[in-house]
Amino acid sequence: MKAQIFSVSLPGCSIIPLPRFSSYVTPPNFASFSSTHNPSKNLPYGFHKPLIWVHKTTGWKSNCGGGGSLIVQCGSNEENDDGFYIRRCVELARKGVGYTSPNPMVGCVIVKDGKIVGEGFHPKAGQPHAEVFALRDAGDMAENATAYVSLEPCNHFGRTPPCTEALVKAKVKKVVVGMVDPNPIVASKGVDRLRNAGIEVVVGVEEDLCKRLNEAYIHRMLTGRPLLTLRYSLSVNGNLLDLLGDRVTDRNGYYSRLLQEYDAVVLSSSLFGEKLSIPASQEPGANQPSMIIMHKKHSSSNQIPLVINEATGKVIIFTDDITAANSEMTQRAIETVAVDTINLDVILDYCNRQGLCSVLLDMRGNFSEFEDLVKEGIKKRYINKFVTEILPVWNGRAETDPLMPLKSIEQGIKVVNLQSKASDQSIVFEGYLKF
């Protein structure tokens, strides 16, 4: 078989010619070429930036004589490269899910001569920040390198020294920042410090992705309240269920992941019985959320369940029954908060003072205990997100429907960024309420 060689000229691109093969011959194997599709997934430590390849396997008949194949290699785009490394920063940052509050999740990558020479993420509040770990990883290679960081480096002394000083000391030549830190203590001061030190700074690369990563931290900084998410289950005919789907509490199930991601979960004491223990995330190494258990004076459960001894995370009892806040709770080292009325104001204020950024209002147990909380959440616009699990069940309507305040709003509430996913036999919807 004879191979016919051809070439084409495209502005800004170099063409690697390939022979034209008969349609009956096995085509060339492109497996050796690096792909840029979804570069943020499954990237090993120390990986190299792949070249940008564009494959053209059809068309070009008028120019190529028909049926030829081209590989077009275009020059790298600096803005696209910056996005690639910031996405890697976000991937690293997510390793701190559930551990960093009240701090944000942050990832950092040090790049020199097109190669990653250092990586790091913020593992836990009180420990060094992502930039410090990445610079340690890079060592002397950090000099004249570019540092990529998903959130603006801090420029103040807290429990750790300023990250800006570490970057200046390491003599990096450029810093690319995903987003400016909304914390008023930082708020562009880190960017200013770096620029004043003669370091080139680029801000706002993959900004939306970085904001989604730390939506709870950002919300708390801007409002003074934790991000509040309402979770509930429905049957396929739209009625409330006091159920969770099969295996959703197992590892990689959506509910197990929620418990890993949220700082606190609000539950009703009516949910617990002799055989039901405090829910816990099954994700490897998960930091268990604080469990806020509502115990109302006139609830069906007269006593705070003893099962809370099995909890792996911190347990806080909120009660309007003063007699419930007894010495037994003190002896068991369980914090009890006695209030006149259990409402979202007191719960969110408590969580904020504890440095918690996200709260999951898990509507299970006695639905009537959630009715006033949902009303308050809608009226005061406290509910920011919702997670709805649709189970493969057809059932009758519950006597009490805490969602009635939502259903009875004449003009309704706009839902934005609605997403759906399957979790075993259930369908899970997640979205944001836009008041």
Active site amino acids: 131
Can you tell me which residue has the tokens 């944001």?
A: 432
Instruction: Let me know: does 364 contact 291? Beta carbons within 8 Å.
Output: no
Distance of alpha carbon 296 from alpha carbon 209, whole angstroms:
40
- Pairing state between β 383-390 and 426-434: antiparallel
Nearby residues of 323 by Cβ (< 8 Å), 6 or more positions away: none
Peptide bond into 102 cis (omega under 30): yes
Distance of alpha carbon 404 from alpha carbon 372, whole angstroms:
11
Q: Two tokens at 135?
A: 């610079």
Instruction: Let me know: does 172 contact 144? Beta carbons within 8 Å.
Output: yes
Nearby residues of 410 by Cβ (< 8 Å), 6 or more positions away: none
Question: Amino acid identity of 145?
Answer: A
Distance of alpha carbon 59 from alpha carbon 215, whole angstroms:
45
The DSSP letter of residue 10 is B
Instruction: Let me know: does 299 contact 366? Beta carbons within 8 Å.
Output: yes
Distance of alpha carbon 121 from alpha carbon 214, whole angstroms:
14
H helix or E strand, kind and range, residue 86: helix 78-93
| Helical residues (DSSP H) of 23-77, grouped into ranges | 61-64
